[in-house]
Amino acid sequence: MQLLGKKAFILGGTRGIGRAIAEAYAAEGAAVAIAARKEEHAEKAASELRACGAAAYGLGWDVSEVGRADERMARAAELLGGLDIVVVNSGVIEREPFLSVSEKSWDEVMNVNLKGAYFACQAAANWMIGHGVRGKIVVMGSETGFQPAATPYAISKWGVAGFAIGMARRLYRKGVSLSLIAPGPIATDMMLWSEGKPKDFPNAFSTLGEAKDVAALAVFLATERGMRIAGRPVFLSGGLDW
């Protein structure tokens, strides 16, 4: 087991990529805490992992409530008995075309995807440094964060890419390794994909990626072998940029 004895906190861990990461970390021996906007959703996901023999806990946290970041990080560490890995995966997407994007949609996306992610990383780093932990922060970006952008989602991911790269450089010498995963389209409900629908997609592999592929990378990045991967994006875009 690659993560045996590790303690991991996954933000946005109830479905899609976050849930796949939580399951993969648990399967590799880590104890996991899962955060979601609604605590009952987080607890339900945790209970399903416990039913499979994992040590798992659920926490309620809307990451746009950045004033709670330090307290929620401390609570996760209290439940887990420490904190080695934090996965910053919470995210929302708008469905409005560029010419009709509302201020409400802009604010919701930016508050979660950019501001929430930034302060979650800050809180994770402060906890690890303050407790002398050589920890790992895994940030979920997007390949859209490296392309010309007009939508709030894509613009938020530009911001995530920028702060993750900049933050990684400042944290590495303090003993905290921060990695940025930049997936292409993944077969999840955020992509409006549902079980049984075709995964055809116009990339080099002619198919959507799967959450388990992102989870496998997130496992590797959290191991000792992955600690030196910091400050640069790791793309899982299926050759979209070829």
pLDDT in tens, 56-77: 999 999 999 999 999 999 999 9
Q: What is the pLDDT of residues 12-52, one digit of tens each?
A: 999 999 999 999 999 999 999 999 999 999 999 999 999 99
Whole-angstrom Cα distance, residue 69 to residue 106? Answer: 22
Please choose, from the candidates 52, 47, 48, 7, the residue with its C-alpha nearest in 3D space to the C-alpha of residue 25. 7
User: Given 25, 118, 153, 172, which residue is catalytic?
Assistant: 153
- Torsion 65-68-73-79 (CA) sign: negative
Domain 7-236: which topology? Rossmann fold (3.40.50)
- Sheet of 85-88, strand order: 56-60, 31-36, 7-11, 85-88, 136-140, 177-183, 233-236
* Catalytic site includes residue 25: no
Task: Please give the model's pTM, rounded to 2 decimal places.
Answer: 0.93
Q: What is the pLDDT of residues 116-154, one digit of tens each?
A: 999 999 999 999 999 999 999 999 999 889 888 889 999
Query: Under a CB-based contact definition with an 8 Å cutoff, are residues 236 and 184 in contact?
Result: yes
